[in-house]
């Protein structure tokens, strides 16, 4: 019998219970066995609250611990690259929260370490592992709406706490770096790698975007030949409501997706094609995070491919860099 993968958590992040701890309880091949935070007392309180058996004194101790197989990295965005490289260098597979790194060059550095060590590194774009997005991809593979012509995607939220790390430039913050990664990734899934035609940022503080709007153009993607136009929008102080969605238009119809980022709250996919109009919603379970962890385990155990691997992460970060440049804002930098 193969022993479960032993996972250590970097930091006392709020996302970890939903993204890792709960799915791990349902997966027989995963055990979360250790945590470390900047402050050991914080880590101890976190471990007690979530039933994690071991507390390590700092990040260095966690990534170097010989009794761990995997590191989960939900640290602030500017720290992702540094500690993912450290974990890979210490012989650990890594599941890293999005965005993968601060910028494209740092992403390429991380992937170089993963390739040298032969270890799995995966960006935690959980939405990509849910039946809602799988259904979208299946419809496009079947050319249900003909040849792709345009794809728009958006995610709007209201994150109003000024002390939130997502507002801090020194921690690689900004709307595009946080919630904007989701619509951008969905558009890349549908249409391939983008050329940035134009981008406009509305700043909350200097160089930190609260809204990012980008006009993208895609040529010869996975489901089309020729040019596809796209509009991406992200807002961290939205006045137009909250939620995520996409509209995909082809020569013979359209697909509207609702709630792809948080499908356990609400989700719907509506297809208009020569077969008529039809809509479907998916159950709340399994969650996006359940699917994500299962895919990560298959990658580690069996070498199975995943759609959010290192190469995809580099392409994603290059696209983010290009949007920031087009909007006249600086690229994010590692801490």
Residues 6+ apart with CB under 8 A from 38: 11, 58, 59
List CB contacts of 51: < 8 A, sequence separation 6 or more. Answer: none
Q: Is 32 exposed, middle or buried (0-12, 13-18, 19+ CB in 10 A)?
A: buried
Strands 93-97 and 121-124, by their bridges, are parallel
3-state secondary structure at position 293: helix
Query: At 242, is the secondary structure helix, strand, or coil?
Result: coil
Q: Taking a C-beta distance cutoff of 8 angstroms, is the pair 168, 205 a contact? A: no
Task: Give helix 80-89 / helix 104-117 axis angle, nearest 10°.
Answer: 10
DSSP state of 303: -
Q: Quick one: which of 155, 160, 149 has its CA closest to 180? A: 155
Catalytic annotation, pick one of 92, 98, 168, 280: 98
**In which order are the strands placed within the sheet that holds 93-97?**
54-55, 30-36, 5-10, 70-73, 93-97, 121-124
Active site residue 18: no
Which of the residues are catalytic?
A: 98
């Amino acid at each position: 019998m193969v022993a479960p993968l032993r996972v250590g958590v970097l930091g006392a992040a709020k996302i970890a219970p939903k993204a890792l701890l709960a799915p791990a309880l349902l997966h027989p091949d995963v055990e979360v066995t250790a945590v470390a935070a900047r402050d050991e007392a914080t880590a101890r309180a976190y471990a007690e609250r979530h039933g994690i058996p071991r507390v390590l004194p700092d990040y260095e101790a966690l990534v170097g611990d010989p009794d761990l197989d995997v590191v989960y990295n939900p640290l602030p965005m500017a720290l992702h690259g540094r500690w993912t490289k450290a974990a890979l260098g210490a012989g650990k597979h890594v599941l890293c929260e999005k965005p993968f790194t601060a910028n494209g060059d740092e992403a390429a550095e991380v992937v170089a370490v993963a390739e040298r060590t032969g270890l799995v590194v995966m960006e935690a774009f959980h939405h990509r592992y849910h039946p809602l997005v799988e259904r979208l991809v299946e419809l496009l593979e079947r050319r249900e709406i003909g040849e792709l012509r345009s794809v728009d995607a958006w995610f709007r939220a209201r994150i109003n706490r000024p002390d939130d790390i997502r507002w801090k430039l020194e921690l690689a913050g900004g709307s595009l770096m946080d919630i904007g990664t989701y619509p951008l990734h969905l558009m890349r899934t549908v249409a391939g790698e983008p050329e940035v035609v134009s981008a406009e940022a509305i700043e909350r503080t200097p160089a930190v975007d609260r809204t990012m709007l980008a006009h993208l153009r895609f040529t010869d993607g996975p489901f089309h030949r020729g040019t596809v136009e796209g509009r991406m929008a992200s807002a961290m102080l939205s006045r137009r409501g909250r939620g995520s969605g996409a509209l995909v238009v082809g020569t013979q119809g359209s697909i509207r997706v609702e709630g792809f980022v948080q499908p356990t709250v609400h989700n719907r996919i509506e297809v208009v094609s020569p077969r008529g109009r039809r809509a479907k919603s998916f159950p709340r379970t399994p969650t996006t995070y359940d699917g994500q962890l299962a895919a990560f385990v298959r990658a580690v155990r069996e070498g199975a491919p995943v759609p959010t691997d290192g190469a995809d992460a580099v392409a994603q970060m290059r696209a983010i860099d290009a949007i920031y440049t087009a909007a006249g804002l600086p690229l994010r930098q590692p801490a």
